[in-house]
Each structure stands twice: as structure tokens, then as C-alpha cells.
Amino acid sequence: MVDDSLWIEADAGLRQLLAVLQGRGYETVGLTEQDGCITLGPIASADDLPRGRIMDTGGGHVRCRDGESDRFFDKTLPMQGLKRFVYPAHEAVAQFDDDLTITTPEVEMRPTAVFGVRACDVAAIDIFDVVFRKPPYTDARFAARRDGLLIVAVDCAVPLETCFCASMGTGPHATTGFDLALTELSDGGEHGFLVRAGSAAGRGILAELDGEAVRDDQVAAKRAQADAAAAAMTRSMPANVASVVRQSHDSPHWSEVASRCLTCANCTMVCPTCFCSTVEDRNALDGTAWRERRWDSCFSIEFSYIHGGGVRESAPARYRQWMTHKLGHWHDQFGMSGCVGCGRCIAWCPVGIDITAEAHVLAADLERAVPTMGDN
């Protein structure tokens, strides 16, 4: 854990931080409210932040409303993480003209500072770094965008109802993977942010900020806030979930989930780590063609199509693929879980399927099925 090195005041400090980022040539992106929902979008100054607004979430439920305080970052999580900034939902990866000249479109990425990234989304970007740079191949389009991103993380003080990062070990505080990280404190009449740097770029920016030395009581307050945030999470993933899903291939519970699941793919679209894509050729009327990479989902039947039909045609098999990959096989493939505990798949599921609840059912079923000592 990086130590905090500066205390900045809420209003003046944030304004200065945004100005410093812009002065260094970064586009600034932060929390904005759009269509009744908190999302990530361009912000010109700290005044654009949806200060005091909070989100209520549940299974299939997201609403924004005014909170009780004037804090900036309580109980908010943008509807999507950083995925679309490093991996667009669709883009041309090759263009072909009439005589078969191939052009590779350049990556257009202006250096971008994302302001207010949650620990779960920082962890998700770390996962993408493994997925898209696993030897021997590097996705250069991802790498160019990723390397153009400056991450200003914000620790969570009040989680959403759907959050469970504490049980995934990814939050509520960001420990690595950020350039700068902020902790919002509003105790004893002062309102401001502890600032810590996690990279050389972050340290350079931090050196330009006006602030005060960090006091011991602020560090203690930060620790208490993190503990309270973790304790406030009502959802959790079973600790042994990776082995549970890998042992549950034949569980009848997949059919039960599938009786509710619409296989609509919302969960895979909002998931900050779902990386699957398809590649499609497109044609223009002038004879040119291009090859496009687009987000795809294991919930579609075509996803697993080989001549003769899909490998996973039934809805239970497709839900099982998503959950087993995310929580189990991801460990085999990349040495880590594919779930960061952001809870978006719960909130944005139109029928409110809760991945943590399903995991607990599978775990309980398995426990009942395994004979214990003395059962004969």
C-alpha cells in the first residue's frame, strides 16, 4: 500500500488537480450524470462532478437521487468501467480497398486522465493488461489506449447495495494499478482528500499540487472509513467459489437460473472484464470493405457455432459458461479471478439475477452432495 503524501482541500484541491491534468495535455474524464444515471464522460472542471448525488441499486435496479451530504464520491459507480476507453465496443481493425490493399486504421487515443476510478475498475484494467498482453501476443490497439490512460482512483467510503469487492479482494480501497488515488474525508469540519501517487506520472502531478502534510488522525480516519465500507457490503462471494463453479458442471441449478435468465447479454456488456469479441467483415457500396472487431457475448447461440450448430445451445449451458469462466476457468487461463466485485451484472440484469446468490446456492448444493466424515 502506497502511503498518502498530501492533503488537499475539497473544492480548491480538486479544481487544481483537474487544471494540472489539463495543463499536462490530458483529456479529463470523470463522473457525470446522464439519462438519470452516473456514467463516465468528459468533464471540464471539478464543478461538473455530480456532487452530492448517490445511486440506489439492487437486482435489476439503478436509480440516482440526492444524498444527505455534499461529498463527491459516496455510493456512486459509473454504469460502465474503463472498458470502452481501452477497448471500444466496435472498431475497424483492417480496411481493404478494391485492389486488396490492406490498411490498418491507426488508434486515435488522446492522452486521457480518468478521474474517480473505483478500486474494482482499477483491478479490471489490471486484468485486461494480462488478457491482452499474454505472451506470445500483444493486442497493440489495447496497449496504445491503455498506455494513454492516466488513472486517478478514488477510494470508496459508502458502497452500493450491489457491491461485493471486499470479498473479491479488490477494494474498497485501491492498492495498486493507479497513477494517483484519492481518499475523500469529511471529519471534524474539514472536507478534503488524501492523495497518494502510484506511478512516476502520478508523483510528477502530485508535486505540482498545493496541500498540507498528512496528519496521523487523517490516516486513522481513512482506515476506519475503509473498514466501514467493507463492513457495509451485504453481498459477498463464497471464498471457495473458484472450485465450486468448476465442480458444478452437472448441477441442476443451472436450469433453475436459466428459467429466469433472458440470455440478453447485459451482464457481459456492463462487466468491466468481459473481453470477448467477434470479428465481422463489412462492405461499403463503393467496393471497399473493412474488418470490424465488436464486443460479443457468450450468451448468444452463434458465439459457439461450428458447422452443424452451436456447442452451447441451451440457456443453462450459456449461463454456466459465463459464470464458470468468470469465477473458475479465469484462474486457469490467467492466474486470477475474472470478477472484481463491482456488482454491475446484478444491477443491470433485467430480471435481477445475482451472481453472488447463485454462487452461494451452488456452494451449498455442493456441500450437501459431498459426504462428510461419519456419513456411511
Partner 1 sequence: MPRSMAAPVWELGMEPVVYQVTGRHQELVDTVTLQMTPVDGPAMSFLPGQFTMMGLPGIGEIPVSISGSPNDGGPLTQTIRAVGKVSAAIAGLGVGDRLLMRGPFGEPWPVEEAVGRHLLIIAGGLGLAPVRPIVYWALANRGRLAGVELLYGARGPDYIPYGAQLLGWLASDRMTGSLIVDRHSDEWAGPVGPVTELIGRHATVDPAKTVAMVCGPEIMMRFVIQALEARGFADSDIWVSMERNMKCALGWCGHCQLGPVFVCRDGPVFRVDHVRNLMTQSEL
Neighbours of 135 (CB within 10 A): 5
Min dist. Cβ of residue 275 to partner 1 (A): 6
Q: Does 317 help bind partner 1 (rule: CB under 8 A)?
A: yes
Q: Judged by CB under 8 A, which stretch of 60-68, 206-214, 299-307, 362-370 contacts partner 1?
A: 299-307
Q: Detail the DSSP E strand segments found in 80-161.
A: 90-96, 102-103, 112-117, 149-154
Residues in the chain: 376
- Residue 326 as a binder of partner 1 (CB under 8 A): the answer is no
Based on the shown chain and the rule CB under 8 A, indicate whether residue 69 belongs to the binding site for partner 1. no
Q: Does 20 bind partner 1 (CB under 8 A)?
A: no
User: Can you read off the three cell numbers belonging to residue 203?
Assistant: 508523483
Q: Are 232 and 160 in contact (CB under 8 A)?
A: no
At residue 132, the 3 state secondary structure works out as coil
* SS3 call for 146: helix
Count residues contacting partner 1 (CB under 8 A)?
A: 63
CA distance 263 to 318: 8
**Residues 236-275 contacting partner 1, CB under 8 A:** 249-250, 275
Is 61 an interacting residue with respect to partner 1 (CB under 8 A)? no
Nearer to partner 1 among residue 65 and residue 282 (C-beta): 282
Among all chains, which residue has been given the C-alpha cell 437521487?
A: 65
Closest approach, Cβ 35 to partner 1, in A, equals 29
Name the burial class of residue 66, with classes exposed (0-12), middle (13-18) and buried (19+) by CB atoms within 10 angstroms of its CB: exposed
Residue 111: φ, ψ to 5°? -55, 130
Site for partner 1 in 133-192 (CB under 8 A): 134, 136-141, 143-144, 147-148, 150
Site residues (vs partner 1, CB under 8 A):
24-26, 93-94, 96, 100, 102, 104, 106-109, 111, 131-132, 134, 136-141, 143-144, 147-148, 150, 201, 249-250, 275-283, 289, 291, 293, 296, 298, 303-307, 311-314, 317, 320-321, 324-325, 328-329, 332-333
